[in-house]
A = this chain, B = another copy of it.
Amino acid sequence: MNSQAIEDYLKAIYKLQVRDSTVLTSVLASYLQVSPSAATGMIKKMAASNLVRHRPYQGVELTAPGEKIALEVIRHHRLVELYLTEALGVPWDKVHDEAEKWEHVLSEDLEDRIDAFLGYPKSDPHGAPIPDRDGKISDRDVCTLSELSTGDKAVIIEVCDEDAEILRYLGEAHLYPRTEVQVTSVTPFDELMTIRIDLGNYISSELVVGQKITTRILVKLLSLDKSPTA
């Protein structure tokens, strides 16, 4: 069995690999809030167990076995997040921190029971996909809100779950997964985006959001008035 620390490192590398396929020691260290030398030490240990590939001074990558474990931990995390929301009513800005602890103590048996209770869900309360038992994640056709242009209509697929304050703000603005939004304008330079939010019941609201927000929301484009800019 791997230690909780190793599980945390593997999960972190997995998440950082989404941006860059090879992860620099310093990036990993600052993500995990440890010193670069601590990260180096753990990287070497994980490399010795064939969980990661390490090219000294160049960065680190998950191996297949490492990725498998990372996906198991992420599956645990997201199942627990959804479970806490659905079964115990924990508000969505709190479930991440709770799940950080629970993900490491979840037995396979309990994982199955929670999965069944939830009806074998495909995504967590923030819209993040839940890997299946084999670690597979279904493909999604998404981009960040910040990539949209004026006139584009989209539905929110996922919001970043790691900042509780942002989540509270998004919740107040009704920016949940499945909410529809339309970009009504984008300012130059700061790229402040005015979006119309569909609140249901033929009600909508308008909101101006900056890149702190727009880069943390994943959407699926609905209308093609304009194509997303790369």
Contact = CB atoms under 8 A, between A and B. Distances in A.
Interface string A39-69: 0000000000000000000000000000000
Copies, count: 2
How many A residues are at the interface, by size bracket?
10 to 19
A201 interface: no
A88 interface: yes
Contacts of A109: 90, 94
A164 to B, nearest CB: 13
Interface string A89-115: 110001000100110110101100110
A87 interface: yes
A110 B90 contact: yes
Given A101-B105, A107-B98, A110-B98, A87 B90 contact: no
A38 to B, nearest CB: 19
Contacts of A98: 107, 110
A87 to B, nearest CB: 7
A57 to B, nearest CB: 36
Nearest to A114: B88
A101 B187 CA distance: 51
A120 interface: no
A31 interface: no
**Chain B CB within 10 Å, residue with most, of A87, A88, A89, A113:** A88
Contacts of A84: 110
A89 B102 contact: no
A113 B94 contact: no
Given A88-B113, A88-B117, A105 B107 contact: no
Interface of A: 84, 87-90, 94, 98, 101-102, 104-105, 107, 109-110, 113-114, 117
Given A88-B110, A90-B109, A102-B102, 16 more contacts: A84-B110, A87-B87, A87-B117, A88-B113, A88-B114, A88-B117, A89-B113, A90-B110, A90-B113, A94-B109, A98-B107, A98-B110, A101-B105, A102-B105, A104-B105, A105-B105
